[in-house]
Amino acid sequence: MTQLHPHPTLALNDGRSIPQLGLGVWRTPADETAQAVKAALDAGYRHIDTAAIYGNEAGVGEGLRASGVPRGDVFITTKLWNAEQGLDTTLRVFDASMKLLGLEQLDLYLIHWPCPARGLYVDTWRAFVRLQAEGRVRSIGVSNFEPEHLDCLVQETGVKPVLNQIELHPRFQQHALRDYHAAHGIATQAWSPLGQGKLLADPSIVAIAKKHGKTPAQVIVRWHIEMGHVVIPKSVNAGRIAENADVFGFSLDADDMAAVARLDDSEGRIGPHPSTAEF
């Protein structure tokens, strides 16, 4: 049996910390979410990433309770959907998410996309600051924010997000945004860390996997860990969920890291550009 390693945590700029590896549940069907979450917790994960728009927050709470892992040992993130931005709506839909999750307190709440044309993300952030002050949520952060949006939040409110969850994988390595985060003490969290599975057949990744006796998915998750990202690969399959977390017994060498660095492609973005995405 695979030995379970305790997952490393990264310090956040509000004094808290986050497990570096989590399970993502985008497009995990609502009726399969509880079993995926339980499989992850059984395999040693202590961090789950959901969102209101995924429609599976109830399954996340159900899986957590079914696992028997104490609530305090698991880090749960959810996200506020774009259509609900604004001070009052945020406070209302936060309560709805918490009811579905079955939680008293959330570990991390994220603004899902900035949607700059709506002009509401600063008001939304003010609601997040209030929720944190009230103790309803421990840490507050954002997703898909560009430097100009991050600058605006800090100028308007003085409160910095703990992290920014962005599209990030070997084919889209986000150098400028990662540098910005490092300079401002904001953690980088990688969404679609496996390139939605498309990178698993890449010849360089496959060669590194063969060399270490690991799978391509493990090589990519390990790359994120060594880069210092928070990483949230998604699977509904218990075997793959366990596989993706079995990355703490090997490391990539300088040649491997250089080979992955060469996969970066400025055209490698899969999702929409955050400055223009409005949905």
CB of 182 to ligand NAD, least distance (A): 20
Q: Is 188 in the site for ligand NAD (CB under 6 A)?
A: no
Q: Is 49 in the site for ligand NAD (CB under 6 A)?
A: yes
Q: Is 44 in the site for ligand NAD (CB under 6 A)?
A: no
54 is catalytic: yes
Nearest CA to 140 among 186, 104, 96?
186
Q: Is 24 in the site for ligand NAD (CB under 6 A)?
A: yes
CB of 177 to ligand NAD, least distance (A): 14
Of 126-134, 151-159, 179-187, 239-247, which part binds ligand NAD (CB under 6 A)? 239-247
- Catalytic residue of the set 54, 109, 121, 180: 54
DSSP assignment of 192-205 equals: STTGGGGGGG-HHH
- Residue 79 near residue 112 (C-beta atoms within 8 A): yes
Q: Is 202 in the site for ligand NAD (CB under 6 A)?
A: no
Q: Looking at 80, 101, 137, 194, which residue binds ligand NAD (CB under 6 A)?
A: 194
**CA pair distance 100, 112, nearest whole angstrom:** 18
- Residue 253 near residue 226 (C-beta atoms within 8 A): no
Q: Looking at 58, 152, 200, 238, which residue binds ligand NAD (CB under 6 A)?
A: 200
The length of the chain is 279
- Residue 10 near residue 38 (C-beta atoms within 8 A): no
Kindly state the DSSP code that residue 263 receives in the 8-state scheme.
T
* DSSP strand pairing (9-11 vs 17-19): antiparallel
Using CB under 6 A, list all residues that contact ligand NAD: 24-26, 49, 112, 143-144, 165, 191-197, 200, 215, 217, 232-235, 240, 243-244
**Residues labelled catalytic:** 54
